Amino acid sequence: MRLILFTLVMLPLLTACSSDRTMINTSQSLVMESDVLSAGITTNQPAISVNNGQQQATSVLYNEQDHPVRLNYRFYWYNDKGLQILPFEKPREITVPAHSKVDITSLTGNLTASKVRLYLYL
């Protein structure tokens, strides 16, 4: 009886682990940790454009607080198949002044880039 129960519990876990394909939901273009919103920062989803032959992603950060807010961000670029494009960007830090807005951008020279994700955290 224990063997049957153990098999029923482990089979779904093993099945899930046996896949060597990791699926990423690339339609989610903005990931913002809850403490960023609590700090008074709002933003829009990154917009992709072409700048001097490179793909450019731009987003605007708004600070609605009476004090500056320092936060971290990172852009992740993906191709049409949902695979992340190399080289990976390093995380960056920015301070958004009180009651102000700041534009943040990312450039990639990889012409296969078609999707981008912005990750914001404190």
pLDDT digits (tens, 9 = 90+) for 54-107: 999 999 999 999 999 999 999 999 999 999 998 889 999 999 999 999 999 999
Q: Is residue 6 in a domain?
A: no
Instruction: Count how many domains the chain has.
Output: 1
Domain with 49 in it: what CATH number?
A: 2.60.40.3230
In which domain, by residue range, is 87 found? 27-121
If we measure between CA atoms, which residue out of 61, 59, 46 comes closest to residue 113?
Answer: 46
What average pLDDT does this structure show over 33-46?
A: 95
Q: Is residue 3 in a domain?
A: no
Name the more confident of 21 and 28. 28
Q: How far apart are CA 122 and CA 118, in angstroms?
A: 14
Q: Is residue 7 in a domain?
A: no
